[in-house]
Structure 1
């Protein structure tokens, strides 16, 4: 190591986590650069041995985080050791890596970043690539039996895909990130199928899989389990029913996460050979939750946080809300400008009574007027300069039997979560 490199390493050794995160955002000209060559080269230099771990890679348009959370919770309940890599985070970067259900210390994160920096040398990495390698370093250090890897974007060219999965999971497929993944469900499915490996078990939670996903499964001769075929779920008045070739559960409590994702997670657990009993699944459903996903944070009025930010997610959200009884539903919404704003808001038009549209004060943030322009003027539609202002006004006017729904972006939910922490 040169004298200059040694000096740089000494300075970085004293960096805080915030300093590392600023650095990660500065060392590569683009936020996203799909491709595995650079990140794989650094991974090889790290010489991480993951061969004795069971690796479950989870891709999909929506539902990845909650599916991982339920698998993680089940493994913990059965006395297994498990580490999870998930993104993005809401409030704290350390949320991205959980070991035994808990975040690691800032010191451990900084030490792992130092190892990646030393290994990469002159290889340029994006923020997400650097963070993925750091997560893999932390997970390798943890010695956990099971590693859950959530795909950041797509699958085939996502940094997570440098690791071969023992089980691959596709939660859902719909339109999002089209500029990177393609403009049809078929094209997007091809990208997501990139996490498949020849002959491995693959769990498909998407109930209407595009033909390209079927073709990818056949080409690689994976051991595929399809939602609606090898495993099934049903929501009914008395609860949640689920079955596969081994199990049949009737009248379970409804899960706190979306039903489709809970069903997918159960099939993963069955594939792993974990013993499942009615009482265990009941406990699992009652304990599995994830911040910002159908998260009820207050009652009277009810306040729900949900990071839904694309048409598929808001369709599922609208379906769930339409079956519930509230006085009025007041939506506090802020979105990124590069999302499909019109098609994302449209599913909720018949469900929401009042719209409080907020400008997001972040890079790529949409202005409130962009949201207002696509909404029907037949209902109350108001424009606010900030999420804080929109949320504050909603809280002032809401009655006890109303629902305040905060959604549209991780940034929107994070801002309200911060307000709640400060109060």
Structure 2
């Protein structure tokens, strides 16, 4: 079977898309004889910022000459994006070989799509002689398949309301699930200045060494370019410091304000691992890190097009902060949301920055998909109540761009499915026109 056949097979192999728990996946991992995926492991959980934080860790370590593997999810355009080794997406052939290894070991045990993919990634990493594996949690942390591996550093970027059906009704309950990736007497890096008490309480209870933003490490903008311990060639931008160590760094290529915190969290994680990172690698890695679909910018006939994966109120608030700082003549939103997301909360957070709405259906997400008219009903009492419904993202984007004038902005956001469809539609247009893409 080719990769597409395998993906179709593993998607249908388990009766549920989500089946939290480690017993089944641990049993298969034992049969596969899986050991450590790398000499050092960093596991990253959080409501928002996981993928970007993984990218910063990966880019800085790679810039220092380390051999790095990264496992992330979901993907935007191709499944291969989920498994990277030395900065390159896994090939179809490598993924097929890994899936065959999982299939041979699982026998009668059923695995979800994510569990299958996690075992395949760990199998590939173990064979790649990696210095560092960076593993992104799929959902929660405590019962996520990634939590099979004992990390050398655990990272929690943020804790906010998301996946409440699975993780609990409030930040404290959700924090309890996410801090399940922590291990006794190992570093736990926290990206928030004020994490839930459940996170701190569990860390202290098991003896994990909590490293907190705003306390154990600090960061901030510095447009002067000054600062003790400046990295050669970093230039003006921002600073990061902990007692006895300081960096002056270039601003990240990724534009959202939250990326400064994600980069700072990544640096704290690498410092906690006590890896041999050369001085210049901090700046080179921060400058090089990039993840598709995070305020990714395009230009179409004088209209700025932004694509962002933000899908919960916390992400929408961060997105609104950027939009306020970079005003356009008009902002036209193309918004789609999965059925289990707080669509009204997202709209409320960003509505002051949006002039008109187009609502896009999501049909490729199985039972979690939501048609545009169903979404419109859920938003009947919000600023998006008059939004035009469209069957899919391509249709919504096409109409939004037709309505836009020079100086306007079109924002496509609300889900990885929306971002992926938008990027595919924009790439198809570039191909047909022979034009350039992102700016």
Of 299-308 and 250-259, more deviation after overlay is shown by: 250-259
- Aligned residue number for residue 296 of structure 1: 297
Spell out, residue by residue over 1:231-258, the C-alpha distance to the aligned partner (whole angstroms, 9 max, x if none).
1222466643322223334574355162
Task: Summarize the alignment of residues 24-423 of structure 1 with structure 2, pairs less than 5 Å apart.
Answer: 24-50=10-36, 53-235=39-221, 239-250=237-248, 252-256=250-254, 258-274=259-275, 280-298=281-299, 300-362=302-364, 363=366, 364-369=368-373, 370-371=375-376, 372-376=379-383, 381-423=387-429
Q: Tell me the TM-score normalized by structure 1.
A: 0.91
Q: The residue matched to 2:15 in structure 1 has which SS?
A: coil
Gaps in structure 2 of 5+ consecutive residues: 225-236, 430-439
Using a 3 Å threshold, how does the CA distance of structure 1 residues 89 and 251 change in structure 2: closer, same or farther? closer
The 2-side partners of 1:26 and 1:262 are apart by 37
Q: The residue matched to 1:219 in structure 2 has which SS?
A: helix
Task: Summarize the alignment of residues 6-25 of structure 1 with structure 2, pairs less than 5 Å apart.
Answer: 15-25=1-11
Using a 3 Å threshold, how does the CA distance of structure 1 residues 166 and 279 change in structure 2: closer, same or farther? closer
Of 150-159 and 40-49, more deviation after overlay is shown by: 40-49
CA contact (8 A) 1:65 1:150 kept: yes
Q: The residue matched to 2:387 in structure 1 has which SS?
A: strand
The 2-side partners of 1:250 and 1:78 are apart by 17
Q: The residue matched to 2:183 in structure 1 has which SS?
A: coil
Using a 3 Å threshold, how does the CA distance of structure 1 residues 325 and 377 change in structure 2: closer, same or farther? closer
CA contact (8 A) 1:89 1:95 kept: yes
Spell out, residue by residue over 1:336-384, the C-alpha distance to the aligned partner (whole angstroms, 9 max, x if none).
1211110111110111112111222233222324245243279x73332
Of 382-391 and 270-279, more deviation after overlay is shown by: 270-279
Using a 3 Å threshold, how does the CA distance of structure 1 residues 83 and 250 change in structure 2: closer, same or farther? closer
Q: The residue matched to 1:242 in structure 2 has which SS?
A: strand
Q: The residue matched to 1:168 in structure 2 has which SS?
A: strand
CA contact (8 A) 1:61 1:176 kept: yes
Q: The residue matched to 1:142 in structure 2 has which SS?
A: coil
CA contact (8 A) 1:252 1:278 kept: no
CA contact (8 A) 2:64 2:277 kept: no
Using a 3 Å threshold, how does the CA distance of structure 1 residues 277 and 43 change in structure 2: closer, same or farther? closer
The 1-side partners of 2:139 and 2:315 are apart by 16
The 2-side partners of 1:137 and 1:377 are apart by 45
Using a 3 Å threshold, how does the CA distance of structure 1 residues 52 and 114 change in structure 2: closer, same or farther? closer
CA contact (8 A) 1:240 1:254 kept: no
Using a 3 Å threshold, how does the CA distance of structure 1 residues 145 and 196 change in structure 2: closer, same or farther? same
- Aligned residue number for residue 434 of structure 2: none
The 1-side partners of 2:91 and 2:11 are apart by 21
Aligned length: 408
Of 35-44 and 294-303, more deviation after overlay is shown by: 294-303
Using a 3 Å threshold, how does the CA distance of structure 1 residues 78 and 237 change in structure 2: closer, same or farther? closer
Deviation at 1:276, TM superposition (A): 6.6
Deviation at 1:396, TM superposition (A): 1.7
CA contact (8 A) 1:375 1:381 kept: no
Of 151-160 and 52-61, more deviation after overlay is shown by: 52-61
Using a 3 Å threshold, how does the CA distance of structure 1 residues 377 and 408 change in structure 2: closer, same or farther? closer
CA contact (8 A) 1:394 1:404 kept: yes
Using a 3 Å threshold, how does the CA distance of structure 1 residues 352 and 377 change in structure 2: closer, same or farther? closer
The 1-side partners of 2:181 and 2:328 are apart by 42
- Aligned residue number for residue 3 of structure 1: none
The 1-side partners of 2:42 and 2:352 are apart by 38
The 1-side partners of 2:247 and 2:409 are apart by 32
Q: Over the residues paired in the alignment, what is the CA RMSD in angstroms?
A: 2.0
